[in-house]
Amino acid sequence: MAEEKLVSREIHLKQRPVGMPTENDFELVKVDVPDLKNREFLVRNVWMSVDPYMRGRMREIRSYISPFQIGKPLEGGCIGRIIRSNNDQFAVGNYVLGNLGWREYWISDGSGSDVTRIDSNVAPIQWYLGILGLTGLTAYVGLLKIGQLTDNSNSTVFVSAAAGAVGSVACQIAKLNGCHVIGSAGSHEKVKWLLDEAKIEHAFNYKEVEKNNISVELGKSCSDGIDVYFDNVGGEHLEAAIDNMKTFGRIVLCGMISQYNLTSAPTGPSNLFLAVLVDSSYRDLLLEIITTY
């Protein structure tokens, strides 16, 4: 018996947003789902992730990932259930992780790295888009590999956008490693969650801190300085962290969300020279060398 013809609803990019994206930049489009060829299977999306990096893909710029195309569906992490299959390796009922979000249905033949079977017995399937997926792994690799945080390090770690998908995991990994953790977030509820649930040592609402005073706020909560700054925000947050870094502290440049909707070139950080003048003894040494030769 012929299978019922399906129609997929997709979100297309209608035009490239300028500044903050609006609904007018996107379009809901209905397309016929084609019949399956040999080895192909049909997935119905159940979950999709909407992430800050997608804002960058809405621009026509050269980057580590290609820009979204006007008149084409957006893409991004998604979890779906296989509902039809001509492929022995991908059975009906299996859940898969893919990169074709922003649509109801998609077809794959299972080759390449764009589709991965996931086990719904291990964890709730949506976790593969969070703690077990892109954002969780970003926090893990960023903090432990790039930030070189070691077990029971007693380090002071500052995380910005600390209640977000990446930041909340970074805070918890830092806590598990015995660190003194400071987080910034943009609401009272998020600050409360960071203190009560994630149990970090200090959290503050950067929107309530006077302009240019994040640095002073950080100075109060980590008077000995920061060992690792996990930067999700850039701009003022990065500048404030640089002001408060310990000698040989590390900064993990994960993202700079404060700049993604800017329509003119961002300013700062204006204090990068502090990365060279690491502390007063080195500064004195540097000055001695310069004046001697």
Ligand X SMILES: NC(=O)c1ccc[n+]([C@@H]2O[C@H](COP(=O)([O-])OP(=O)(O)OC[C@H]3O[C@@H](n4cnc5c(N)ncnc54)[C@H](OP(=O)(O)O)[C@@H]3O)[C@@H](O)[C@H]2O)c1
Q: List residues near ligand X by CB under 6 A.
A: 51-53, 134-135, 138, 161, 163-167, 185-187, 190, 232-233, 254-258
Q: How far is the CB of 184 from ligand X (least distance, A)?
A: 7
**Between residues 115 and 257, which has the closer beta carbon with respect to ligand X?**
257
Q: How far is the CB of 98 from ligand X (least distance, A)?
A: 17
**Between residues 52 and 225, which has the closer beta carbon with respect to ligand X?**
52
**Between residues 143 and 163, which has the closer beta carbon with respect to ligand X?**
163
Q: How far is the CB of 232 from ligand X (least distance, A)?
A: 4
Contact predicate 55/259, CB 8 Å: no
**Between residues 156 and 258, which has the closer beta carbon with respect to ligand X?**
258
Q: How far is the CB of 56 from ligand X (least distance, A)?
A: 8
Burial 259-286 (b: 16+ CB within 10 A, else e): ebeeeeeeeebeeeeeeeeeeeeeeeee
Q: How far is the CB of 240 from ligand X (least distance, A)?
A: 11
Question: Beta partners for 245?
Answer: 226
**Between residues 33 and 161, which has the closer beta carbon with respect to ligand X?**
161
Radius of gyration of the chain (CA): 23
3-state secondary structure of 221: helix
Residues whose CB is less than 8 angstroms from the CB of residue 13 and which lie 6 or more positions away in sequence, other chains included? 25, 26, 27, 58, 68, 69, 70, 71, 72, 74
Tokens representing residue 142 in the block: 């960023």
Q: How far is the CB of 148 from ligand X (least distance, A)?
A: 17
**Between residues 96 and 254, which has the closer beta carbon with respect to ligand X?**
254
- N residues, the chain: 293
The Cα–Cα gap between 99 and 239 comes to 34
Which residue has its beta carbon closest to ligand X? Answer: 255
Tokens representing residue 213 in the block: 């005073």
Q: Which amino acid is at 41?
A: F
Q: How far is the CB of 63 from ligand X (least distance, A)?
A: 12
Where helices occur in 30-92 by DSSP H, the ranges are: 53-57
**Between residues 90 and 230, which has the closer beta carbon with respect to ligand X?**
230
State the number of CA atoms in the 13 A half-sphere of 123 facing the CB. Answer: 10
The Cα–Cα gap between 271 and 116 comes to 44
